[in-house]
Structure 1
Amino acid sequence: MIRPARSRTRVGTDPGGNERMSGRALAIVVLGAVTMLLDGFDNQLLGFAVLQIVDEFGSSRAEFGWVFAVGFVGIGVGTALGGLVGDRIGRKPCLILAVLVFGTFTLISATTGGTLAFACCRIVAGVGLGMALPAVTSLVAEFTPARWRHLAIAVSIACIPGGALVGGLVAAAVLPRWGWRELYLIGGVVPLLLVVVLALVLLESPQFLAARGRPGDDERRAAVLRRTGRAVVPPAPDPIAAGAGTGSPRALLGRELRRDSLALWGAFFFSLLGVFSFFSWGPSLLQANGYSLAAASLSITLYNAGGIVVALVAGVLIGRIGSRPVMLALAAGAALSAGWLLLVPPVDGTTGITFVAQIVLHGGCFAGLQTVLYNLASHIYPAGIRATGVGAAGTVGRAGAITAALVAGGLVGAAGHGFLLLLLAAATLAGASLLLVRRHVPARRGT
């Protein structure tokens, strides 16, 4: 007796672990990663150029702080908006719109002549930067076979700090020779060129088309699947998806998802609280403890590098052993490394092996955890509300970043004990939130 083949993909649920990725699907995933690279690049431009900007505008860095804040607000609004738009009109148009917005307003920023006009451009550009994240997360999750999905998502999100690292290199070359306007010109033109490529190469997500179910979507979905070399079969029924509809924020707090949504939001909030506390005030703590400006700046590079490497390793492990043990291990590592910093604080101004190990370990665990939380968000929510769910979690996380900017600075004094206790508490609470999540990514069978 011949048994029916079992390797065909059930789009709308979980593609088989042995499914191969076509060239077109790989191109879509790569474009998502490139978008996140430019997202990270543009998001960090102000940090690199602020001294030149405030000097030209006749302001001070302290007075310019509110411009940083409105950018964070714009990103938070954009992340929520991008989730809603991505689940209503589709991932492709949402992503193209997002890149168009942040590219255009970054470019316009280069022409402004005062603080108010610059701040208005920054907040609108921030909306575009925020909108890109849920669209990319959903597209990568829905075009990548199960075997590689979690690594692909981790790579894409890790491109955000990667973009910041690239931005530092570009800024070091451009700012001394040409100035901040030329740096913003690069940050605007390159995304606008990417818009053309996205329009030509991207395909709409077949899972989104299956979940939306409008007239003609079945034909569009079949065409997408043929172009990506995937089997055309009806999506398996999902009780959560059936009651969620598409793009419904209320579904995130429905009976089936309420606990996981609240726990996920807690994990996002506390992880970004910890990460942005270090980003915002870690260098200041180090300088207060005798470190040079160069050494304090090096700490951010080490922190980001650790986060990128650990996120990629975690992405592989999540695809094999599931998200619960991996994420709890990262939260525990973030707490333990914060405890190490508290017990053996960097106070002597040296950048020896202990200093490097402390920063890389803490950044690896904390920033790595924050990155792979998007893997968990993309798994918890079905296709019809996936972008909405990712966007909501990202927005709550952004509230943690804003809290860090407002609160952590007051804890830097007294050798930074209060600041380091905040990092320890944030890591512990992120881990506790993850313990409450029920729909963790399961381990892959047969590995």
Structure 2
Amino acid sequence: MNQFDIEAFVDRQKVGAKQLTVLLVCGLVCFMDGFDIFMIGKIAPAIAEGFGEPPEAMAFLFVCQQIGLALGAFIVSPLADRFGRRRMLMLACASFGAITLLSVYAETLFQLSIMRAIAGLFMAAGLPMALSLIAETTPARRRSTFIALALAGYSSGSAASGAVAAWLIDIYGWQSGFWIGGIVPILCIPLLALFVPESLKFRAERNPNDPTIAKTLRRMDPDVALNGDEVFVLGSGNKKGQKARLSDIFTEGRGLMTAILWAACLLSMTNIALLGAWLPTFFQEMANIPIQRFAISAMIAYLGGVTGTLTIGYLMDRFTATNLIPLVYIGLAATMIALAYIPFESPIFIVVMIGWSFLLTGGQAGLNTFITQIYPPRMRSTALGWAGGAGRIGGVLAPLYGGMAIDQSFTLQLTLGLAALVPLAVAALVFLLGRTKYEMAT
């Protein structure tokens, strides 16, 4: 029996056209995922007006989409670990693309809300599936950097949804965002089919004797030595093919690790949802800063967010994640408190705002990257998807604190000071994880 180590083969590959192609195509999927998920919030007033409804009527739509995203993270994402990353990613693109296109024909806001819930099932799965494909195609020495680039694409999609909506909505109506959000994911399908191979690690864990693996290896490296009797394994040991099970992320000593990561993701995404939804309102109601003025600072701070995502990937290729990520979240808590005390008109405020965006986005990107590092390929999409699902529960709960702070006339200092406890808790959880036993997977 001639064993062929897939992990070693992938890790010794030079980063070239094949890896960059996977990054570009999967990065485009991440971009559109971010575009579609955050598009609604950017054009909500126009949608409400288009249906003759008051702005507060959009609350039901937001809840429906959030429920769909949470269910999709828990239900659809794990299917990639059973049926394949590429196949399920193509299905997800086709599904949320088609439903988004059909949404332009909704006759009532209720109909649109239900369609967004269904689309959310598949939108939630796009990111973890794309990240799994990138992680399992890229050599370990560049893996975190490539994942960070894909996450930067996701963040850019969120920003682009606001920019495109602002340019087109007055001419073509709210439907313009849905046309873009539906057509581009469908165009990703032939790109995935033609240029992105199914994960070698997924195939090897499913069936170590899969004959299609040899064909893919030869396309990646024409000089690879294969005799035709290989058994494809991950690592130096002989591993039998394994079908993914939902329980895998809790077995073999992973239960505590998974629980800690879920708690960290829940708190991290609660913080993101809270500040994303309420920070402009906090400054308007508590510091008398008009939303329009704050929006300019937020647009500049977006540059810090992209830089943070890219930087965290570079750093995680070089430093221990459970030491690095806590420092990021401690810094995030410090910038949140600083935003409350530094005068808005001060030149240093925008510097702190950029630092806040850098750490907010970089911290969550670090958690996502860390998950790809410590879970084996057969359960990687499940681990990413379910951690994201846990985080989205926090996204549903976060607005409650914002509404209470406004209703109780909290000061800006008290509001952000209490909110800063959340990233400190994330830092403590990840630090604790570093003191428990976990193994790095590739």
Residues 313-322 or 410-419, more deviating: 410-419
CA contact (8 A) 2:145 2:314 kept: yes
Q: Deviations over 1:14-72 (max 9, x none)?
A: 943x5302422321121111111111111122122211211121211112212111111
TM-score (normalizing by structure 1): 0.89
Structure 2 equivalent of residue 291 of structure 1: 289
- What does 1:312-323 align with in structure 2 at a 5 Å threshold? 312-323=310-321
Structure 2 equivalent of residue 219 of structure 1: 211
Structure 2 equivalent of residue 66 of structure 1: 60
Task: State yes or no: 1:264 paired with 2:261.
Answer: yes
Structure 2 equivalent of residue 11 of structure 1: 6
The DSSP-based 3-state class of the residue aligned with 1:341 is: helix
Q: How far is 1:158 from its partner? A: 2.0
Structure 1 equivalent of residue 396 of structure 2: 402
Q: Distance in 2 between matches of 1:238 and 1:293?
A: 58
Task: State yes or no: 1:274 paired with 2:271.
Answer: yes
Q: 2:330 aligns with which of 329, 332, 340?
A: 332
- For structure 2, which runs of at least 5 residues remain unmatched after alignment? none
Q: 1:158 aligns with which of 140, 143, 152?
A: 152
The DSSP-based 3-state class of the residue aligned with 1:44 is: helix
Q: How far is 1:12 from its partner? A: 4.3
Return the letter of the residue paired with 1:93: R
- What does 1:426-441 align with in structure 2 at a 5 Å threshold? 426-438=422-434
Task: State yes or no: 1:132 paired with 2:130.
Answer: no
The DSSP-based 3-state class of the residue aligned with 1:312 is: helix
TM-score (normalizing by structure 2): 0.90
CA contact (8 A) 1:23 1:228 kept: no
Q: Deviations over 1:376-408 (max 9, x none)?
A: 111111011111111111111111211212333
The DSSP-based 3-state class of the residue aligned with 2:210 is: helix
- What does 1:223-234 align with in structure 2 at a 5 Å threshold? 223-229=215-221, 234=232
Task: State yes or no: 1:356 paired with 2:350.
Answer: yes
CA contact (8 A) 2:339 2:352 kept: yes
Return the letter of the residue paired with 1:277: L
Q: 1:89 aligns with which of 75, 83, 88?
A: 83
Q: 1:103 aligns with which of 93, 97, 103?
A: 97
Task: State yes or no: 1:424 paired with 2:425.
Answer: no
CA contact (8 A) 2:372 2:384 kept: yes
Distance change in 2, residues 1:251/1:324 (3 Å) = same
Structure 2 equivalent of residue 115 of structure 1: 109
The DSSP-based 3-state class of the residue aligned with 2:14 is: coil
Structure 1 equivalent of residue 233 of structure 2: 235
Q: Distance in 1 between matches of 2:104 and 2:241?
A: 43
Return the letter of the residue paired with 1:357: V
CA RMSD, 1 decimal: 2.5
Q: Distance in 1 between matches of 2:331 and 2:70?
A: 27
Return the letter of the residue paired with 1:431: A
The DSSP-based 3-state class of the residue aligned with 1:144 is: coil
Q: Deviations over 1:313-357 (max 9, x none)?
A: 111111012312321221111122123234x155xx53x422212
Distance change in 2, residues 1:24/1:13 (3 Å) = closer
The DSSP-based 3-state class of the residue aligned with 1:32 is: helix
CA contact (8 A) 1:273 1:400 kept: yes
Structure 1 equivalent of residue 186 of structure 2: 192
Residues 56-65 or 387-396, more deviating: 56-65
Structure 2 equivalent of residue 445 of structure 1: none
Q: Distance in 1 between matches of 2:342 and 2:56?
A: 28
Return the letter of the residue paired with 1:392: W
Q: Deviations over 1:225-271 (max 9, x none)?
A: 222228577434589x9699432121212241112111111211111
Q: 1:246 aligns with which of 243, 246, 252?
A: 243
The DSSP-based 3-state class of the residue aligned with 1:62 is: helix
Distance change in 2, residues 1:305/1:238 (3 Å) = farther
Q: Distance in 1 between matches of 2:296 and 2:439?
A: 35
Seq. identity, %: 25
- What does 1:162-181 align with in structure 2 at a 5 Å threshold? 162-181=156-175
Distance change in 2, residues 1:236/1:305 (3 Å) = same
Q: Deviations over 1:153-188 (max 9, x none)?
A: 111112122111122221121011221112211221
The DSSP-based 3-state class of the residue aligned with 1:321 is: coil
Q: Distance in 2 between matches of 1:313 and 1:162?
A: 15
Q: Distance in 1 between matches of 2:31 and 2:76?
A: 18
Structure 2 equivalent of residue 3 of structure 1: none
CA contact (8 A) 2:205 2:241 kept: no
Q: Distance in 2 between matches of 1:418 and 1:292?
A: 20
Q: How far is 1:280 from its partner? A: 0.7
CA contact (8 A) 1:247 1:384 kept: yes
Q: Distance in 2 between matches of 1:238 and 1:261?
A: 26
Return the letter of the residue paired with 1:435: F
Return the letter of the residue paired with 2:429: S
Task: State yes or no: 1:33 paired with 2:30.
Answer: no
How many residues align? The count is 428
- For structure 1, which runs of at least 5 residues remain unmatched after alignment? 1-7, 443-447
Task: State yes or no: 1:385 paired with 2:383.
Answer: no
